């Protein structure tokens, strides 16, 4: 009896370990392969004849003299001026995150402390807005923005990204503020603070864990966005993600697909660092909405 249960246990464990192992390989391999391959020439990266070429860089050695080459990176960053897109991304992402958090904190706090019926409806509306495909919203912006002559500016994209970010930010910060005991700010108000003073002196000092977690997701949304940035930014204001996508079209013709590969690796690298430092916050943010319902 005991041995039978034991053996069942091992089969169960064996199957689940195999599954986890397979998943981890499938999850990591594309990244490792692309990072490794970004230091090779195109003939090696797309090595149809023999895949070991891509590992040992046979053609790379033949063409450049070494097993690794940074030609792709040079081409992307210097020749195609990818650094400009990196700067644009920094500006747009920074302001999007700061403004989103400011708006979201105020709104989320109000929703968490208000028992009125319309607070519920605002949250429901936010949920529905959260589900709107971004490209349908973009098709609503294009014509008015062209008419008002504000199409293509960084500021326009920042405001739009902030707005698209709001539903998610509101939900997250609302559930976070609900967990901060009401007594804290209410006792401050009994002591003669106005609502805003209570918020500023009592809530702001303790809200940072929730704000940082929410900020991470605002960052990811702005950093990874394609629909808005590709349609609403002019060429000189383009961020990394649409730039990578347009590389794909232009460099493929010239046979410089390695530029796109190098740009993709450059755009992904910051995310590795982000996950490394903020893994715990990201996990808690992903589950926050779920656990609290």
Interactions with another protein, residue window 72-111 (CB under 8 A): 102-104, 106-107, 109-111
What number of other Cβ atoms are within 10 A of residue 206's Cβ? 10
Interatomic CA distance for residues 129 and 64, integer angstroms:
52
The least distance separating another protein from the CB of residue 127, rounded to whole angstroms, comes to 8
Among all chains, which residue has been given the structure tokens 């690794």? Answer: 68
**Smallest Cα–Cα separation from 156: which of 96, 215, 214?**
96
Q: Considering only residues 2, 3, 27, 255, which one is a binding residue for another protein as defined by CB under 8 A?
A: 27
Q: Considering only residues 39, 40, 41, 45, which one is a binding residue for another protein as defined by CB under 8 A?
A: 45
The least distance separating another protein from the CB of residue 64, rounded to whole angstroms, comes to 20
Q: What is the DSSP letter of 203?
A: I
Phi, psi values for residue 78, rounded to 5°:
-95, -55
- Per-residue binder mask for another protein (CB under 8 A), 51-70, x = binder: x--x----------------
What number of other Cβ atoms are within 10 A of residue 176's Cβ? 22
Task: For the segment 197-256, give every residue that binds another protein (CB under 8 A).
Answer: 220, 223-227, 231, 241, 244-245, 248
The least distance separating another protein from the CB of residue 217, rounded to whole angstroms, comes to 10
Sole window of 59-67, 71-79, 141-149, 206-214 interacting with another protein (rule: CB under 8 A): 141-149
Task: For the segment 156-195, give every residue that binds another protein (CB under 8 A).
Answer: 159-160, 162-164, 166-167, 169-170, 195
Q: Considering only residues 66, 155, 209, 289, which one is a binding residue for another protein as defined by CB under 8 A?
A: 289
Q: Considering only residues 79, 114, 179, 187, which one is a binding residue for another protein as defined by CB under 8 A?
A: 114
**Smallest Cα–Cα separation from 63: which of 37, 44, 36?**
44
Instruction: Name which of 125 and 212 has its Cβ closer to another protein.
Output: 125
Taking CA atoms, 80 is separated from 20, 143, 268, in Å, by 40, 30, 18
The answer to whether residues 75 and 261 touch, using CB atoms and an 8 Å cutoff, is: no
Q: Determine, following the binding rule CB under 8 A, whether residue 274 of this chain makes contact with another protein.
A: yes
Instruction: Name which of 48 and 65 has its Cβ closer to another protein.
Output: 48
The least distance separating another protein from the CB of residue 230, rounded to whole angstroms, comes to 9
Q: Which residues contact 221 (CB under 8 A, 6 or more apart)?
A: 96, 161, 164, 165, 168
């Amino acid at each position: 009896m005991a041995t039978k249960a034991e053996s069942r246990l091992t089969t169960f464990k064996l199957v689940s370990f195999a599954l986890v192992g397979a998943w981890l390989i499938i999850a990591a391999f594309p990244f490792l392969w692309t990072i490794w391959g970004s230091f090779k020439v195109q003939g090696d990266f797309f090595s149809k004849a023999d895949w070991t070429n891509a590992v040992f860089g046979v053609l790379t050695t033949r063409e450049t003299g070494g097993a690794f080459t940074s030609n792709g990176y040079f081409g992307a960053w210097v020749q195609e001026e990818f650094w400009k897109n990196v700067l644009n991304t920094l500006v747009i992402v920074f302001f999007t995150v700061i403004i989103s958090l400011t708006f979201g904190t105020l709104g989320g706090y109000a929703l968490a402390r208000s028992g009125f019926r319309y607070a519920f409806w605002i949250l429901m509306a936010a949920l529905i807005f959260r589900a709107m495909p971004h490209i349908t919203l973009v098709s609503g912006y294009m014509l008015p923005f062209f008419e008002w002559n504000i199409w293509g500016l960084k500021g326009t994209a920042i405001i739009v990204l902030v707005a698209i970010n709001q539903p998610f930010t509101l939900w997250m910060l609302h559930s976070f503020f609900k967990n901060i005991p009401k007594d804290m700010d209410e006792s401050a108000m009994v002591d003669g603070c106005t609502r805003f003073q209570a918020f500023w002196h009592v809530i702001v000092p303790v809200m940072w864990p929730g704000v940082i977690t929410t900020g991470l997701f605002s960052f990811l949304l702005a950093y990874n966005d394609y629909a808005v940035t590709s349609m609403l930014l002019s060429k000189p204001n383009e961020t990394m993600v649409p730039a990578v996508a347009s590389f794909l079209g232009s460099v493929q013709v010239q046979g410089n697909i390695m530029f796109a590969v190098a740009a993709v690796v450059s755009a992904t690298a910051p995310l590795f660092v982000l996950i490394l430092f903020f893994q715990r916050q990201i996990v808690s943010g992903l589950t926050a909405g779920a656990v609290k319902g």
